[in-house]
């Protein structure tokens, strides 16, 4: 799910408003949540690092995942250092939270599957006859009271 997090400073009231919106359908963005923070507390937390920033940012009604907190922190460092009233929008895709898959490369030292199949892929007719020699048909007697009788 793609999200947009908008940070808006209000220098007069010393508040920071965070607006969260999400793309519910391709091209359709819907506002999800709005949260107000004390601007001075957020500036102080931003100076202290990502852990302090996350602690102040997270609330019961707005609790971003760790990867999102880190991205928000990294993208708002300059925003909080500046005294100018400005807005910033940070886009986040949940797929960023998943680790990237490493591309598989077959090295020269690795054994190739074709060679393994050639070596182990033969079965003699005698081996097949030995397996099929036993009669594995289930046999029932009148004394058998099991529920699985046919």
Output the pLDDT for position 78.
Answer: 92
* pLDDT, position 44: 96
The mean pLDDT of the chain is 82
pLDDT score for 123: 61
Asked if residue 31 has pLDDT above 60, the reply is: yes
- Would residue 67 count as lying in a domain? yes
Backbone angles phi, psi at 25, to 5 degrees: -140, 160
Residue 28 in domain: yes
Mean pLDDT of 35-49: 95
**Residue 111 placed within a domain:** no
Q: How far is it, in rounded angstroms, from Cα 30 to Cα 21?
A: 5
Do the domain assignments include residue 11?
yes
**Residue range of the domain that includes 35:** 2-97
CB-based contacts of 93, cutoff 8 Å, min separation 6 = 1, 2, 3
pLDDT confidence band for 26 (50 / 70 / 90): confident
| Choice between 72 and 109, residue whose per-residue pLDDT is larger | 72
Q: How many domains would you assign to the chain?
A: 1
Residue 117 falls inside a structural domain: no
User: With pLDDT > 70 as the criterion, what percentage of the chain qualifies?
Assistant: 69
For residue 38, tell me if it sits in a domain: yes
Please indicate, yes or no, if residue 129 is contained in any of the structural domains. Answer: no
The whole-number average pLDDT for the span 87-95 is: 89
Q: Is residue 137 part of a domain?
A: no
């Amino acid at each position: 799910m793609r999200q947009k997090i908008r940070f808006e400073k209000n220098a007069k009231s010393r508040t920071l408003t965070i607006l969260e919106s999400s793309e519910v359908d391709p091209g359709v963005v819907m506002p999800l949540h709005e949260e107000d923070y004390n601007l001075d507390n957020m500036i102080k937390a931003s100076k202290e690092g990502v852990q302090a920033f996350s602690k102040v940012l997270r609330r019961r009604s707005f609790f971003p995942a760790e990867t999102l907190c880190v991205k928000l922190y990294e993208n708002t460092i300059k925003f909080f250092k500046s005294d100018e009233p400005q807005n910033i929008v940070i886009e986040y895709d949940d797929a960023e939270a998943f680790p990237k898959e490493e591309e598989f490369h077959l090295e020269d030292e690795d054994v190739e599957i074709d060679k393994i199949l050639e070596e182990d892929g033969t079965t003699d007719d005698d081996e097949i006859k030995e397996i099929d020699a036993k009669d594995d048909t289930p046999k029932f007697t009148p004394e058998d009271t099991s529920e699985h009788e046919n």
